[in-house]
Amino acid sequence: MRFEKPVPVTTIAQLIGAEVIGNKKGNATGINEIHKVEKGDLVFVDHPKYYDTCINSAATYIIINKKADCPDGKALLVVDEPFEAYLKIVNFYRPFTPSMKSISDTAVIGEGTVVMPGAYIGNHVIVGKDCIIHPNVTILDHCILGDDVIIQAGTVIGSDAFYYNKKTNREIHYKKMTSCGRVLIENGVEIGANCSIDRGVSHDTIIGAGTKLDNLIHIGHDTVVGKNCLFAGQVGIAGATTIEDNVILWGQVGVSKTLTIGKDAIVYAQSGVKDSIAGGKVYFGSPVEDAREKMKEFVWIKRIPQLWEKVMK
């Protein structure tokens, strides 16, 4: 999430009650998770396993629950509960603001775009030119659509990330991590009926130009889909996944989180992708394998009864 204008680190520290170690004169430009941080960002860390990773990341300001050595030019903001500090910052700089109108007064709708009855367009949404938004589509706050985008009925753009912080102080419970990211949909994208595309937790979920989505597809938070991809019905993609250009996922393919599917890959229906896979190949199975090898395996499996009979004679 980018702040509307840079915020002095001392102002952030005052908001969350933090002690500042290091550069006290800098200005934070945004807040992000560790895998999305850029120079000028705030990031939070509350587990020793990730202290060094966060301190030495691209982030300039680290919200942390332990004093540590601070690299030159950076600042540590030391608090007891970094996760709570993150929530406080997000809720202060991007608070939930209900809009009770079908199209928010702050939304911008491009020339030639058609918004059909029953659609809802939230605060600070930007919709490009010559789009068609069918009935009962929901486009939530801060999402951006390019030109010539078609969204079929019942689809939700910008729903919250399925992202929770696991707490085990007394008993296991899950605390919601407030989503402050966006969904960016580029030119010429078509999205079928009853799809859901989650916003990024703190950055952006992106659907590349020319990509086509069938009905009943879910795309998780912070996922980046390349250009001219084709996803058939009931595909499900978990969070922070990268799908490169021209990828085809046939019906009911399931894709796990934080992996990459390479350019021009094809994954046959009902397959499961649990790890990154190279581009330019065809895959099948769960977990996926080279489709030709998997088909050969099925042939041998069918021959097992015949082989067993020969062994028993």
Angle between helices 9-16 and 82-93 (to 10 degrees): 110
The backbone torsions φ and ψ at residue 89, rounded to the nearest 5 degrees and listed phi first, read -65, -45
β pairing state of 182-185 and 254-255: unpaired
DSSP-derived 3-state class of residue 11: helix
The backbone torsions φ and ψ at residue 173, rounded to the nearest 5 degrees and listed phi first, read -150, 165
Q: Which of 142, 203, 218, 221 is catalytic?
A: 221
Closest listed residue to residue 159, CA positions, set 186, 133, 135, 194: 194
Rounded to whole angstroms, how far apart are CA atoms 96 and 92? Answer: 9
β pairing state of 144-145 and 126-127: parallel
Rounded to whole angstroms, how far apart are CA atoms 127 and 223? Answer: 20
Q: Please give the structure tokens belonging to residue 226.
A: 């390349």
For this structure, is 221 an active site residue? yes
Rounded to whole angstroms, how far apart are CA atoms 101 and 92? Answer: 23
Which of 237-241's residues contact partners 24+ apart within 8 Å by CB, and which partners?
Answer: 239/161, 239/162, 239/163, 239/198, 239/201, 240/35
Q: Please give the structure tokens belonging to residue 228.
A: 């001219």
**Which residues does the annotation mark as catalytic?**
221
